[in-house]
Amino acid sequence: MNLQTALAVRHHTNGDPKDVLAVEPIDVPVPQPDEAVVALRCASINPSDMGMIGGSYGRLRALPAIAGREGVGEVVAVGADVKNVTIGTRVRFPEEPGVWREAGTFKAADLIEIPENVPTEQAAQAFVNGLTAYVLLETFANDLKPGDWVIQNAASSALGFALTQLCRARGLKTISVVRDLRWENMLKEAGADIVLLDDDEFPKQLKELTNGGAIRLGINTVGGNSVWRQIKSMADGGTIVTLGGASTEAIRFPTRFLIFSDLRLRGFWMDKWNRTHSREEYLAALKGVFELMAAGVLKMPVEKIYPIAEAKAAVARNLEKGRMGKVMLSGNWKL
């Protein structure tokens, strides 16, 4: 039995998001005794969403699929036996089977409550970029000391802002490499020590700009020539962690850097971390992210929020160049 219907952003095939996405009605079932109905309030549009829709991501949903992985919802109805949440509780909108929809019915025990002091727009970015930045630094930066240098490309992304702010909180210095210097002031306000254009000149400038400081950790989400320039910038024994390949170009890693500089090339995938760690570890890391958001330490920029009904326009804007923050979706579905 269905409670009523809601709009959802679906795709029946994999392909270009601008071509395959459609906003369609779906049923919202009446909650069983152990279930709750959650209405979407805010959702993020992330690169991994585009990969899942396009068919290139490391895991794909069965088709037809509802798009989206990350968002915040509000409990609007509960089953008779539900005790852990009540009407009005803000929760993570469950990732499966898809977030970009006005509402859905879920097992109440699986819902993750969001602290009241975390802004909704930030909480809706906590589970992918916020958590990735937090866990990545917990994994790869624990041997770094305050004052050590970290370099990252695609620093103007939501992940880049999160990493910049979390490095500052740890006392680490950051080099933010970008394709557009319009981001310089925003990144420096977020805590970036150096902001440079991603071109062949920047590795030559770093020794002077860092006063000879050693760059111990590199974070790569681009690939191609961008990571090649990172490799040339690293100190002996440094580590470069790759989490994405926005350029689609191959990563070149010359043998001489392995031998003479003893560089390490590592990979990190948050989905795999989630699968290989316990729910308790996941919730502990998420608690750390929420605390930083509540304290104002972690705050990622938002450009514009579109209603679910305008999801195709939101995705088109997300794919355009020149954005100055996250594009998001919102819902105001009520019973």
CB-based contact 41:123 (threshold 8 Å): no
- The answer for residues whose C-beta is within 8 angstroms of residue 293's C-beta and 6 or more apart is 118, 119, 122, 123, 126, 130, 299
For 116-148, the pLDDT digits (tens) are: 999 999 999 999 999 999 999 999 998 999 999
Note whether residue 235 is domain-resident.
yes
Average pLDDT, stretch 37-44? 98
DSSP, res 325? S
| Per-residue pLDDT, 158 | 93
Q: Has residue 10 been placed in a domain?
A: yes
Residues 180 and 98 in one domain: no
For 256-309, write each residue's pLDDT tens digit: 777 777 889 999 999 999 999 999 999 999 999 999 999 999 999 999 999 999
Same domain, 147 and 120: no
Domain that holds residue 196: 128-271
Average pLDDT over residues 312-324: 92
Q: Is residue 288 domain-resident?
A: no
Residue among 87, 146, 134, 163 at smallest CA distance from 270: 134
Residues 62 and 196 in one domain: no
Q: Residues 85, 155: one domain?
A: no
Instruction: Work out the mean pLDDT of the chain and round it to a whole number.
Output: 93
**Structure-token match 């409670």, residue found:** 3
Based on the domain organization, do 136 and 267 belong to the same domain? yes
* CATH number for position 153: 3.40.50.720
| Helix 224-233 × helix 202-209 angle, to 10° | 30
Q: Is 57 a catalytic residue?
A: yes
Same-domain status, 78 and 90: yes
Domain presence at residue 284:
no
276 part of a folded domain:
no
Instruction: Answer yes or no: is 297 within a domain.
Output: no
pTM exceeding the 0.85 threshold for the entire prediction = yes
The residue out of 271, 287, 319 marking a domain boundary is 271
